[in-house]
Structure 1
Amino acid sequence: MILGAQPSILWIWFYWNLFNGFSVSFFILFPFSFIFGVLILILFSAIISKFFLSIVNFIHPPKEGIFKRDGKDKDYCYWSLRSVIKKWPFWLARQLSISYIEIFLLRLFGAKIGKNCSLHEGWIDTEFVELGDNVKLGQGSLILSSLIVHDKLILKKTIIKKNAIISMHSVVLPGTKIEFNTVLDALSSTNIEQYLDQNSIYRGSPCRKVMKKKDIKNKSELRNLIFDKKEEDRYNKEILREEAKELAVPFHLYISSGWFIIGFSFVLPGFLFYVYIFGLLEPFLLSSFITINSLLNFTTSIILLTLPLIFIGLYLLHLFLVALFTRIFYKFADRRGPEQGVFDRNLDKESKILDYYHFRSFLFKYPIYVFIRSPFPWLINWELRFLGSNKIGKNSVIEECFLHSHINLGKNCYLGTYTHITNHLVDGVYGEENLTFFEINLGKDSVFEALTGALPGTEVGQDSTFIPIGSTVKFDELKGYATYSKFPASKLDKDEIKDRLGEELKNE
Structure 2
Amino acid sequence: MTNGEQKYYSAEELAEKWENNQVALPKIPFFLINLYQFIMPLVVVLFFIALVIWIYDYFQIYMWIQILLGPIVFMCSFFLLIWSMSKFCRLLNAYYDKKSPPREGLYSREFDHKNVVDPAVHYYHLRGFMYKWPVWVSKKSMFPWMVNFVLRDMAGNQIHKNFYYGDAYVCLEFSDLGDGAAVENGAVISSHVVDSIFGNLTVKKVTLEKNAVLNTTAVMAPGTTIEQNTAVGPRSFLPKNWKITSEKSEFTYGIPAKYSDYRNFFDLLPERFQKQWEKKKLEMEGKLKN
Contact 1:466 1:485 in 2 (8 A): yes
Give the aligned partner of residue 339 of structure 1. Answer: 103
Q: 1:387 aligns with which of 154, 159, 163?
A: 154
Instruction: Find the partner of 1:243 among 15, 18, 22.
Output: 22
Q: Please state whether the residue corresponding to 2:231 is helix, strand or coil.
A: strand
Residue identity over aligned pairs, in percent, reads 24
Cα 1:279–1:239 shift into 2, 3 Å: same
Asked whether the equivalents of residues 243 and 347 of structure 1 are also in contact (C-alpha less than 8 Å), the reply is no
* In 2, Cα distance between equivalents of 1:474 and 1:237: 25
Matching of residues 96-135 of structure 1 within 5 Å: none
Q: Does 1:311 align with 2:77?
A: no
Q: CA deviation at 1:309?
A: 1.0
Q: Give per-residue Cα distances to partners, 1:220-251, cap 9 Å, x unaligned.
A: xxxxxxxxxxxxxxxx9995433347x6xx53
Equivalent position of 1:68 in the other structure: none
Q: Deviations over 1:93-122 (max 9, x none)?
A: xxxxxxxxxxxxxxxxxxxxxxxxxxxxxx
User: Structure 2 vs 1, CA of residues 277 and 495 (structure 1 numbering), >3 Å: closer, same or farther?
Assistant: closer
Give the CA deviation at 1:271: 3.9
Structure 1 length-normalised TM: 0.45
Question: Corresponding residue for 1:410?
Answer: 178
Does 1:400 find its partner at 2:163? Answer: no
Letter in 2 for 1:241: N
Q: Which residue of 2 aligns with 1:81?
A: none
1:445 matched to which residue of 2?
211
Partners in 1 of 2:19 and 2:267 — Cα distance? 44
Count of matched residue pairs: 251
- Aligned with 1:450: secondary structure? coil
AA of the residue aligned to 1:444: K
Contact 2:252 2:260 in 1 (8 A): yes
Cross-structure match for 1:483: 251
The C-alpha deviation readout for 1:127-163, integer Å capped at 9, x for no partner, is xxxxxxxxxxxxxxxxxxxxxxxxxxxxxxxxxxxxx
CA distance in structure 2 between the partners assigned to 1:495 and 1:373 by the alignment: 35
Question: Any conservation in 1 of the 2:102–2:124 contact (CA below 8 Å)?
Answer: yes
Could you tell me how far 1:268 is from its partner in structure 2?
2.4
Gaps of 5+ in 1: 1-235, 286-298
Greater C-alpha Rg: 1
1:307 Cα deviation from its structure 2 partner = 1.6
How far apart are the structure 1 equivalents of 2:161 and 2:118?
Answer: 38
Determine the C-alpha separation between the residues in 1 that align with 2:21 and 2:50: 48
Supply the distance in 1 between the matched residues of 2:80 and 2:41 (Cα, whole angstroms).
Answer: 8
Give the 3-state SS of the residue equivalent to 2:233 in structure 1. strand
Aligned equivalent of 2:127: 360
**Given that residues 337 and 360 in structure 1 are in contact (C-alpha distance below 8 angstroms), is that contact kept between their aligned partners in structure 2?**
no
Cα distance, 1:499–1:275 mapped onto 2, change above 3 Å? closer
2:65 paired with 1:302: yes
Residues 333, 357 of structure 1: 8 Å contact kept? no
Instruction: Please state whether the residue corresponding to 1:262 is helix, strand or coil.
Output: helix
TM-score (norm 2): 0.76
CA pair 440-276 structure 1, distance change in 2 beyond 3 A: same
Give the structure with the larger strand fraction: 1
- Please give the alpha-carbon distance, in whole angstroms, between the structure 1 residues aligned to 2:23 and 2:63: 62
Deviation at 1:269, TM superposition (A): 1.1
- The answer to whether 1:264 aligns with 2:35 is no
Contact residue 177 and residue 208 of structure 2 kept, 8 A:
yes
- Distance in 2 (CA, whole Å) between partners of 1:338 and 1:406 is 9
SS in 2 for 1:400: coil
From the superposition, tell whether residues 279 and 242 of structure 1 become closer, same or farther in structure 2 (CA, over 3 Å).
farther
Gaps of 5+ in 2: 1-14, 279-290
Query: Contact (CA 8 Å) 2:250, 2:264: kept in 1 or not?
Result: no
Q: Shift in Å at residue 408 of structure 1?
A: 1.3
SS in 2 for 1:469: coil
Structure 1 residue 485, shift from structure 2 partner:
2.2
Q: Which residue in the other structure is 1:460 paired with?
A: 226
Code of the aligned partner of 2:189 = I
Equivalent position amino acid for 1:243 in 2? Q
Distance in structure 2 (CA, Å) of the matches to 1:497 and 1:446:
13
Tell me, in whole angstroms, the C-alpha distance in 1 between the residues paired with 2:48 and 2:265.
56
Paired residue type of 1:326: C
Question: 1:329/1:241 Cα in 2 relative to 1: closer, same or farther (>3 Å)?
Answer: farther
Asked if the contact 1:420–1:452 (Cα under 8 Å) also holds between the matched residues in 2, the reply is yes
1:280 Cα deviation (Å)? 4.0
SS in 1 for 2:159: coil
Q: Provide the secondary structure at the position in 1 that maps to 2:234.
A: strand
Counterpart in 2 of 1:426? 194
- Structure 2 distance, partners of 1:381, 1:313, is 18
Distance 1:338 1:279 in 2: 44
Supply the distance in 2 between the matched residues of 1:437 and 1:366 (Cα, whole angstroms): 21
Q: CA deviation at 1:439?
A: 0.8
C-alpha distance in 2 between matches for 1:362 and 1:412: 29
Q: In structure 1, the residue corresponding to 2:219 is in which secondary structure?
A: strand
Give, in whole Å, the separation in 2 of the partners of 1:367 and 1:494: 39
The code of the aligned residue for 2:87 comes to: L
